Amino acid sequence: MVESNEAPRRAAERELREELGLKVTAGRMRALDWVPPDGPWDDLLAFVFDAGQLSAADVLKLRITDPEISEFAFVDIAEAMAMLGPTLVDRFLRAIAALNSTAPEYCEHQG
């Protein structure tokens, strides 16, 4: 979640550092997703940035530091799609598609 007066790219880097102990530099934006209001939440923009590939050493350093996260796993695309809801699957697939493009993907969900 972006904090007050924080750029989305810096928020992504901070969240990864705080929640998984991962120090990365967020690169190109791969996807931008507008999500409509839901319950008590107002609408939001979700940014997906490319942070490159983790080295074996990086993977060994990963640690969960946020009590809201109970576990993480590395899975293939099909497994990830089975684990994500429809909105996140669309965002995920668009971000993957953007890997082969010079432009980010734009998603807009109507609820």
Q: Using 50, 70 and 90 to split pLDDT, how confident is the model at 111? A: low
Short-list 86, 75, 90, 24, CA closest to 53: 24
Worst-scoring range by mean pLDDT, 16-20, 49-53, 61-65, 84-88?
84-88
Question: What's the average model confidence in pLDDT over 84-99?
Answer: 91
Question: What's the average model confidence in pLDDT over 15-23?
Answer: 93
Question: What's the average model confidence in pLDDT over 79-85?
Answer: 94
The H-assigned helical ranges of the chain are 8-20, 56-61, 77-83, 86-98
- According to DSSP, residue 48 is labeled E
User: What tens digit of pLDDT does each residue of 27-79 get?
Assistant: 999 999 999 998 998 999 999 999 999 999 999 999 999 998 999 999 999 99
Q: What domains sit in the chain, N to C, each tagged with a CATH number?
A: 8-108 (3.90.79.10)
pLDDT of residue 56: 94
Distance CA(55)–CA(42), nearest Å, equals 37
Q: Using 50, 70 and 90 to split pLDDT, how confident is the model at 19? A: very high
pLDDT of residue 38: 87
Q: What is the pTM of this model?
A: 0.86
